[in-house]
A and B are shown apart, each in its own frame.
Chain A
Amino acid sequence: MRRGMWDREMVAALLLMASMPMVLTWLWFGGVEAIGRLALTLIISGLWHMVFMLARAQPPSLAGALSAIAVAMLAPEDLGLIRLALGVSFGTVAAELVFGGWGRNVLNPATVTIAFLGFGFPAEPWPEFVAPVIWAALPALGIGAMFGILSMRVIFAAFVALGIAYFGGDPAISVILPTAVLVLALLVTDPVAGASTSLGRWLYGAAYGGFVILFAYEWEGAAPVQMAVSAAFLASLFAPLFDEAALALWVRRRRKRHG
């Protein structure tokens, strides 16, 4: 008879709210240049949402703003207007809108955009973050987990994997760790593109941490953001597999118990 509040737009609004500590700190330290980048990505992504609303009757979602923020923060610098616009258009359309909008997509549009730009223009420098922005990722994760919109399991698993490597005492990890936490908050914990079963979520978070560690050791000459985004991209490709495995295991366990 009555309706509760956890519909798609409410979740998107809460995700946006949760990311605010990070975003505002980043804007504060980034100044006019950061505001300009964010405005650009917001406008382009908004335009594509508008196009799909008029052409395909897909209601636009606040989640578009979320992807725009992640792209503005993590995409390579000095791309110029045209190339950034191209990348955002590709990511928004090919990774989100053609599937029917946010909630039906398979991969996170921001991850796809950044990976696309990173592989397409490998010569461009990757952004680096000042310490307060990294620290602001922690309250962002905390707020999201408190509202239940980010999965606690993914966060824990990723932290455990990264923590083990960090306290193992390798200097390669301590360079990448801050950026890995930021990317965890911005891209990896996305409830749609990530795994959705409990075991799947543990595996997904651990896989992200594992890929970050692997890249830290084996990928010579890559920037921390590049490694972390690639790890997020690979982990989200594996997410459906983790879910499928977790479900198969669950079904088998139940079959054994109940015949």
Chain B
Amino acid sequence: MPRVGSSLTPEAPALHITDEAAITPAHGEELRVEALVSDGESVAQGQPLLRLRAMPDMYLTAPMAGRVAKIELRPGHRLSQMVLFHEAGGDRYAYDVSLAGADADELRRVLQMSGLWRQFRSRPFGRVPKPGAIPAAIFVIATDSRPDAPDPAPQLTHREAEFSRGLDALARLSEARIFLCQAEASSYTGALPAGVSRVITGKVHPNGLSGLMIHRHMPARVEAPVWDIHAEDVADIGSFLETGYVPATRVVSISGSGDALREAKLVQCQPGADLRGLSQPLLRPGPHVVVSGSFLDGRPAHWLSLRDRQVTVLTRDTATNNRHWFNEALDHVSRRAPIIPTAALDLAFGGVLPAAALVRVLASGDVEGFTRLGGLSLLEEDLALADYATGARPRLMTQVRAILDRIEEEEGVA
């Protein structure tokens, strides 16, 4: 696939606040919420807008200053989306963070109130951790090896003070070991607080995936969950604890196939930004799909998803299907072709997992075997490359989600 991806310049990404933005649940996440504002109300950037009914300490906050356009709830107060219109010159919501420096409980409270807590992801199962949850380790991911992903290193060098304040805060949050994962020893050279260990991952995909690093250094178990968080989110936490304002933007790369996009670009936009608005100035004419995430693990979306820092634009496949009716029928009724264990499959797992055995336990839905092979450290994104490489049907990403959901249900932690 010809890709536009070379002109991603890291220095000073242009600010691009889209006219609309939305708060949406992450893929597969169920948020039962209570709205704190109503349609048409003006809100400040960072202001708490929604509260979780099951966990009253957890809030979702406004990604930008503006006006509430609509709140869409499905039955049972389940959030579908909450859309906001941008208004220039709006206020920023200030939090009182004066006590968070000394008290760990207070630190948790302000992080949960400001919505920054939602950037944590807990494994196994890949959910936002519960308010009182205690991790066995926290992995700070300062690398992203997915194709055309923005490199966090220049941002971190630029925000070194904030980042190290964020790391301090993580260290105060729990007793957990903290790992800072970076592509090369030279990617981030700032001083680290005591108790933070550096992990060098290498630049080649899939080595930068947090799942593989967690698998290698501190496998997640149901009774010992491991959290991961992007390094820029840690810097956001640092900046928040300094100023009391929730940082308003994140660096996002827009890339895609050469026939869908004129140029790749790095921009700063608000969380939950409107993907059409972001990619509009760069598009070539023709049908296309906008994906939140990379082309390996992304999903077609209207809004930038919770932890995504990448937008991919692909041409939509409009070719009419001219296949013979017999092949079509055979495809419908036959079992899908199995995956042949080749070097491609081994490399798609970075060579650290027994790939063929893992694919087999996934296909047979063998929970015990999956746990034994360290599957609890994995999430969908960790199998995205294997999915792409082997063209597996049904997709490994779907299979791993299904088996994780089953384990979650059996363990009764849902």
Enumerate chain A interface residues (CB-CB to B < 8 A). Answer: 1-9, 11-12, 53, 57-59, 61, 100-101, 103-104, 147-149, 151-152, 191-192, 196-198, 243, 246-247, 250-251, 254, 258
Which positions in B face A, CB cutoff 8 Å? 1, 218-219, 289, 291, 295-296, 298, 300, 312, 314, 330-331, 333-335, 337-347, 354-357, 372-374, 388-392
CA–CA, A9 and B312, complex, Å: 29
A3-B391, A11-B340, A103-B339 known; A57+B334 contact, CB < 8 A: yes
**Nearest-CB distance from B48 to chain A (Å)?**
35
- Least distance between A183 CB and chain B CB atoms (Å): 21
Q: Which of B291, B372, B390 is within 8 Å of A6, CB to CB?
A: B390
Given contacts A5-B391, A59-B334, A251-B372, contact A191 B295 (CB under 8 A): no
User: CA–CA, A104 to B337, complex, Å?
Assistant: 9
Q: Is the CB of A4 within 8 A of B334?
A: no
Picked from A8, A243, A250, the residue with its CB within 8 Å of the CB of B337 is A8
Contacts of A243 in B (CB 8 A): 357
Complex: chain B residue closest to A58, CB-CB: B334
| Residue from B335, B346, B356, B389 in contact with A100 in the complex, judged by beta carbons closer than 8 Å | B335
Q: Determine the main DSSP class of A at the interface with B.
A: loop
B338 and A8 form a contact (CB under 8 A): yes
Instruction: Name the CB-closest residue of A to B388.
Output: A4
A103 lies within 8 A of B391 (CB): no
Shortest Cβ gap from B355 to chain A (Å): 8
Task: Determine which of A6, A198, A251, A254 lies in contact with B342 in the assembled complex, contact meaning CB atoms within 8 Å.
Answer: A6
Known interface pairs A5-B391, A258-B219; A196-B344 also in contact (CB < 8 Å): no
| A8:B340 contact, CB within 8 angstroms | yes
Cβ-closest 8 pairs across A and B = A148-B343, A103-B338, A196-B356, A8-B337, A3-B391, A6-B344, A7-B391, A196-B341
B1 to chain A, nearest CB (A): 7
What are 22 inter-chain pairs, A to B, with CB distance below 8 A?
A: A1-B291, A1-B300, A2-B314, A2-B388, A4-B344, A4-B391, A7-B391, A57-B333, A57-B334, A58-B334, A59-B331, A59-B337, A100-B338, A103-B339, A104-B338, A147-B343, A149-B342, A192-B340, A196-B354, A247-B354, A250-B354, A258-B219
Tell me if A2 and B374 are in contact (CB < 8 A).
no
Q: Which residues on A sit within 8 Å (CB–CB) of B296?
A: 1
Name the contact of B344 in the complex, choosing from A57, A100, A148 (C-beta under 8 A): A148
CA distance A40 to B100 in the complex (A): 81
Given contacts A6-B345, A59-B330, contact A197 B357 (CB under 8 A): yes
Please tell me if the beta carbons of A197 and B354 are within 8 angstroms of each other in the complex: yes
Contacts A1-B312, A4-B388, A6-B389 aside, 7 further interface pairs with beta carbons under 8 A come to A1-B296, A5-B389, A7-B390, A100-B338, A246-B354, A254-B219, A254-B374
Chain B residues contacting A3 (CB-CB under 8 Å) are 388, 391
Contacts of A2 in B (CB 8 A): 1, 295, 314, 388
User: Quick one: which of A11, A12, A58, A196 contacts B357, CB cutoff 8 A?
Assistant: A196
For the complex, what is the distance from the CA of A104 to the CA of B344, rounded to whole Å? Answer: 19
In the complex, which residues of chain A have a beta carbon less than 8 angstroms from the beta carbon of B340?
Answer: 6, 8, 11-12, 103, 149, 191-192
Cα separation A96 to B390 with both chains bound (whole Å) = 21
Q: From B218, B335, B356, B390, give the contact of A4 (CB < 8 A).
A: B390
Which residues in B have their C-beta under 8 angstroms from that of A258? 218-219
User: In chain A, what residue has the closest Cβ to B335?
Assistant: A100
Smallest distance from the beta carbon of B383 to chain A beta carbons, Å?
13
Q: Is the CB of B341 within 8 A of A191?
A: yes
How distant is B199 from chain A, measured CB to nearest CB, in Å? 15
B254 CB to nearest chain A CB (Å): 15
When C-beta atoms are compared, the residue in chain A nearest to B332 turns out to be A57
Known: A53-B330, A149-B342, A191-B342. A7 touches B337 (CB 8 A): yes
Return the chain B residue nearest A53 by Cβ: B330
- Closest CB of chain A to B339's CB: distance in Å? 7
Q: Which residues of B contact A149 (CB under 8 A)?
A: 340, 342-343
B356 surroundings in chain A (CB, below 8 A): 196-197
Which residues in B have their C-beta under 8 angstroms from that of A5?
A: 389, 391
Query: How many Å lie between the Cα of A67 and that of B5 in the bound state?
Result: 43
Residues of B within 8 A of A103 (CB): 337-340
CA distance A198 to B346 in the complex (A): 9
A45 to B356, CA, bound (A): 27
Q: How far does the alpha carbon of A250 sit from the alpha carbon of B351 in the complex, in Å?
A: 13
Query: In the docked arrangement, what's the CA distance between A200 and B293, Å?
Result: 36
A147 to B318, CA, bound (A): 32
Residue of B nearest to A104 (CB): B338
CA distance A243 to B334 in the complex (A): 29
For residue B348, give the distance in angstroms from its CB to the closest CB of chain A: 9
Nearest CB on B from A140, distance (A): 16
Closest residue of chain B to A250 (Cβ to Cβ) is: B354
- Bound-state CA distance A91–B391 (Å) is 29
Q: Which residues of B contact A151 (CB under 8 A)?
A: 343
Closest to A11 in B: B340
Q: Which residues of B contact A147 (CB under 8 A)?
A: 343
> In the docked arrangement, what's the CA distance between A3 and B395, Å?
10
Bound complex: CA A6 to CA B335 (Å): 18
On chain B, the residues within 8 Å of A196 by CB distance are 341, 354-357
How far, in Å, is B371 (CB) from chain A's closest CB?
A: 10
Min CB–CB distance A65 → chain B (angstroms)? 15
Given A103-B337, A197-B357, A250-B354, verify A1-B219 contact (CB < 8 Å): no
Measured between beta carbons, the chain B residues less than 8 angstroms from A101 are 337
Q: Return B73 CB to nearest CB of chain A, in Å.
A: 29
The CB with the most chain A CB atoms within 10 A, among B289, B334, B373, B374, is that of: B334
Contacts of A254 in B (CB 8 A): 219, 374
Give B63 Cβ to nearest chain A Cβ, in Å.
Answer: 25
Closest to B300 in A: A1
Give Cα A1–Cα B372 distance, bound, in whole angstroms: 30
> How far, in angstroms, from A6 to B390 measured CA to CA in the complex?
5
Complex Cα gap A151–B218 (Å): 30
Structural contact, B391 and A247, CB atoms closer than 8 A:
no
How near does chain A come to B376, taking the closest CB pair, in angstroms?
12
